[in-house]
Structure 1
Amino acid sequence: MHFRYDGANPRTIARYGALAVGALVVLSLLFGTGYTIDQKNVGVVSRFGAFSRTAGPGLHFKLPWVESVVEYSTATQQVAIQKSEVFTADNQGVNVTMLVQFNVPDGDVQNLYEHVPFYEQRIYTLANDRMKSAFGRRQVSDVPSARSLIESEIKADVAAQALKLYGIEVSEVQITDLDYTEAFRHAIDMMTRAKAEVTRSEQLRQQAVIDAERQQIAAQANANAAVAAAEGEARSIRAKSEAEAAATRVKGEAEADAIRAQAAALGASPNYVTYTQARRWDGRLPATILGSQPVPMMTMPVMGPMNGH
């Protein structure tokens, strides 16, 4: 079998060309009109580059060749500032790494599309500038203890400016790393040692106060014990004296009563003295009589004649 080529037929070429163009048009219509917006995204549809409308998550359609779509994330986003050099008020350099988290509100994507096409870079520049300003207000020795406060100041400044200029909400600012210079490390080391010495001195002072208070308490206890002992001894002596005085008083009162009784008896009977002498005489005469001392005589009562004599 033999084929004969008679040359290209213009009509055939035109027909196939029309079929090819038609196929391209159909394909472009099929794939160029439909588009999908992901969750937590918002689409900005523009017509010939000018803002037309926004589109939420899901399947949408647009005019092919005329409209285009740009997606904006409404989820939390972040920019990282890697080892940006800042200087403190006393001209000490620090390399800071910081993260800034932010959100793009659904209703602000038109403003971003029309006026802030590179908003991530704007947030980066703003945060870096506020960070340098915050560190520049502090001495090198204050940075470690004021780290949280510095973060709060940066966040407040960046959040206020980002919302005002771009309509972007800043939710978090975090300093993740501080790379100190050698001079900075030396200053921090000296400060740490000084604080340790101050802490130790304070601990020693407090211990001395505690020891002094303990000694004072012990001395007071000893003094109280001595006072109590003295008071007890005094009470004992007083009680003994009072007892002796009472005994003496009772004895004196008894002797006085006896004397009064004897006097009463003497007054009642003249022979009471003789009777008393007779009671006390032991029946013996004195062994020695000196001078002209008379021999003691006792008056004896005259006895009547005895019966039978």
Structure 2
Amino acid sequence: MDPIMLFLYWLGGIFLFFSLFALFFTIEQQTYGVIQRFGKFVRVVGPGLGIKIPWIEWVVGRVNVRVQQLSVKVETKTEDNVFVHLVISVQYFVQPTKIYDAFYKLQDPQGQITSFVFDVVRARVPKITLDHLFEKKDEIADAVKSELDATMDEFGLGILKALVTDIEPDARVKEAMNDINAAQRQRIAAAEKGEADRIMKVKAAQAEAESKALQGQGIANQRKAIIEGLRESVDDFKRSVEGTTSQDVMNLVLMTQYFDTLKDLGSGAHNNTIMIPHSPGHMGELAEQMRNAVITGNAVGSKNKKE
């Protein structure tokens, strides 16, 4: 065989072999392929095995339609002149029905989204104080999403969610805020502790008052019983011993109580009472003083009644 023909056959075989490989292509899941013919857009193909004209049609790009997240850090100033850093996270995706727009109309989608985030945040945050900024972060996120929805739809992008993921004031401002919060909590704790102490003191005073009332009632009942017992003892003693007066009986009772007191003082192991020298005869003087006091009290009472 002619060597030239053999070379041509060999060259044709190689061409067919590579053309066969160039005929088929695959597109991954959640991805769309963009086909061009001689530099002109032809069609969009979905995931799976695809066929194209070898050497004429080319897969010039693959567009991922999965949800992607872009975090944008923005520095701005609040209404009360505090510089803060906000981190805005934008979740976006390419709309499967607008692959052409996403591939041909927008060169840098992340850069475009970042520009709009900066514009919205720096237009709204300077109208809000730092304290209200934490409360209105959802409003800022909604504003970012609304602005991006209206703009990026033209370029085939959909906005799933916009989130304000972090608000970080200047370090000195943050330290001052922490000091203020700590002082407020300490003030509340002090107030609560004072209220608790007040309640405890009130309850203790009430308990002490009730205790003293019961103690006084007990002492009154005890003295009443003692008086009743003394009265019965005096009457019995006078009936048993003829010629005995009530005064003699009272002197005897006082003497008995005197010796009982001495006995109690001497029987205690830890008593520290110092006894002053005296004689039992002083009991008569004590009885006389008590009698004179009673007589004087009765006289004063009678005089007051007459007046």
Bin the TM-score by the shorter chain.
0.5 to 0.7
Alpha-carbon offset, residue 195 of structure 1: 6.2
For normalisation by structure 1, the TM-score amounts to 0.53
Distance 1:124 1:76 in 2: 17
Which residue pairs with 2:280 in the alignment? none
**What is the aligned counterpart of 1:80 among 59, 63, 71?**
71
Alpha-carbon offset, residue 171 of structure 1: 0.9
Q: Relative to total residues, which structure has the larger helix share, 1 or 2?
A: 2
For normalisation by structure 2, the TM-score amounts to 0.53
- CA deviation vs aligned residue, 1:184-236 (integer Å, no higher than 9, x gap): 314533653576589789989xx8xxx9xxxxxxxxxxxxxxxxxxxxxxxxx
Which residue pairs with 2:109 in the alignment? 119
Q: Is the 8 A contact 1:42 1:54 kept in 2?
A: yes
- CA deviation vs aligned residue, 1:45-69 (integer Å, no higher than 9, x gap): 1222222111122211112232222
Alpha-carbon offset, residue 16 of structure 1: 6.1
Distance 2:117 2:17 in 1: 46
* Paired-residue identity, %: 22
Which residue pairs with 1:305 in the alignment? none
What 5-or-longer segments of structure 2 have no aligned partner? Answer: 200-307
Closer/same/farther in 2, CA of residues 160 and 17 from structure 1, 3 Å limit: same
Letter in 2 for 1:152: D
What 5-or-longer segments of structure 1 have no aligned partner? Answer: 1-10, 212-309
Which deviates further from its counterpart, 54-63 or 192-201? 192-201
Q: Is the 8 A contact 2:94 2:102 kept in 1?
A: no
DSSP 3-state at the match of 1:75: coil
Closer/same/farther in 2, CA of residues 18 and 50 from structure 1, 3 Å limit: same
Structure 1 ranges of 4+ moved more than 6 A: 197-204
**1:188 pairs with 2:170:** no
- What does 1:196-207 align with in structure 2 at a 5 Å threshold? 196=185
Closer/same/farther in 2, CA of residues 197 and 84 from structure 1, 3 Å limit: same
Aligned residues: 199
DSSP 3-state at the match of 1:116: coil
Q: Is the 8 A contact 1:51 1:114 kept in 2?
A: no
- CA deviation vs aligned residue, 1:157-188 (integer Å, no higher than 9, x gap): 2223222x423211111223333312331453
What is the Cα-based RMSD across aligned positions, in Å?
3.5
Q: Is the 8 A contact 1:42 1:56 kept in 2?
A: yes
Q: Is the 8 A contact 2:94 2:157 kept in 1?
A: yes
Closer/same/farther in 2, CA of residues 62 and 143 from structure 1, 3 Å limit: same
Alpha-carbon offset, residue 109 of structure 1: 0.9
- CA deviation vs aligned residue, 1:88-132 (integer Å, no higher than 9, x gap): 233422233332111222111111222113323322332333233
Which residue pairs with 1:149 in the alignment? 139
Closer/same/farther in 2, CA of residues 85 and 110 from structure 1, 3 Å limit: same
Closer/same/farther in 2, CA of residues 37 and 182 from structure 1, 3 Å limit: same
Q: Is the 8 A contact 1:43 1:54 kept in 2?
A: yes
Alpha-carbon offset, residue 15 of structure 1: 5.1
Q: Is the 8 A contact 2:80 2:130 kept in 1?
A: yes
Closer/same/farther in 2, CA of residues 182 and 23 from structure 1, 3 Å limit: same
Distance 2:190 2:39 in 1: 72
Closer/same/farther in 2, CA of residues 68 and 79 from structure 1, 3 Å limit: farther
Letter in 2 for 1:100: V
Distance 1:189 1:79 in 2: 31
Closer/same/farther in 2, CA of residues 131 and 32 from structure 1, 3 Å limit: farther
Closer/same/farther in 2, CA of residues 203 and 150 from structure 1, 3 Å limit: farther
**1:55 pairs with 2:33:** no
Q: Is the 8 A contact 1:92 1:183 kept in 2?
A: no
Letter in 1 for 2:107: P
Which residue pairs with 1:265 in the alignment? none
Which residue pairs with 2:121 in the alignment? 131
Larger radius of gyration: 1
Distance 2:7 2:80 in 1: 77
Which residue pairs with 1:235 in the alignment? none
DSSP 3-state at the match of 1:152: helix
Closer/same/farther in 2, CA of residues 49 and 195 from structure 1, 3 Å limit: farther
Which residue pairs with 1:173 in the alignment? 162
